Amino acid sequence: MATQIQTLLIDDIDGGEAKETVVFAIDGTSYEIDLNDKNARNLREALSPFVSSARKADGGGAARGRKRGGGQRPSRDKSSEIRAWAKAHGLNVSERGRIASHIVAQYEAAQ
């Protein structure tokens, strides 16, 4: 017996089927959103005047051009701070290793 696992992307704007995950960053925070072709085009068109006048940043985040994930890893001191914050807020976080991106995002949003 074979098992097949499929991932279905749902458009975060209209709830229909999405075709891609778009990664972008602003004010030091990276975001990703699942969009269909039309909504992805609309996002890119809306950002186009800003992108064409901007310069590329060094380092990580959306500048790496990865389709999923891609945020910078927090420093060791910052990781300890994020772990303590997560535990204080009842979030399940490991004692070692990578901190889940959604926990880092929640921490950054709370700051």
Q: Check whether 36 has a pLDDT greater than 90.
A: yes
pLDDT tens digits along 41-89: 999 999 999 988 988 877 554 444 444 444 556 677 788 889 899 999 8
3-state secondary structure of 17: strand
Supply the pLDDT for residue 73. Answer: 63
- Collapse the DSSP code of 9 into the 3-class scheme (helix H, G, I; strand E, B; otherwise coil) and give the result: coil
| 29 and 56 belong to one structural domain | yes
- What is the number of domains present in the chain? 2
Which residues touch 99 (CB under 8 Å, ≥6 apart)?
74, 79, 82, 83, 86, 93
Do 31 and 6 belong together in one domain?
yes
Average pLDDT over residues 21-39: 91
Q: Residues with Cβ < 8 Å from 13, sequence gap 6 or more?
A: 33, 35, 39
Whole-angstrom Cα Rg for the chain: 17
Residues 16-29: tens digit of each pLDDT: 999 999 998 888 88
* Interacting residues of 66 by C-beta distance below 8 A, sequence separation 6+: 23
Q: Are residues 81 and 94 in the same domain?
A: yes
Residue 31 belongs to what H/E stretch? strand 29-35
Domain co-membership, 60 together with 106: no
CB 20 within 8 A of CB 28: no
CATH assignment of the domain containing 57: 3.30.60.230
Q: What is the CATH number of the domain that holds 106?
A: 4.10.320.10
Once rounded to an integer, what is the mean pLDDT over residues 84-108? 87
Q: What pLDDT score does 77 carry?
A: 76
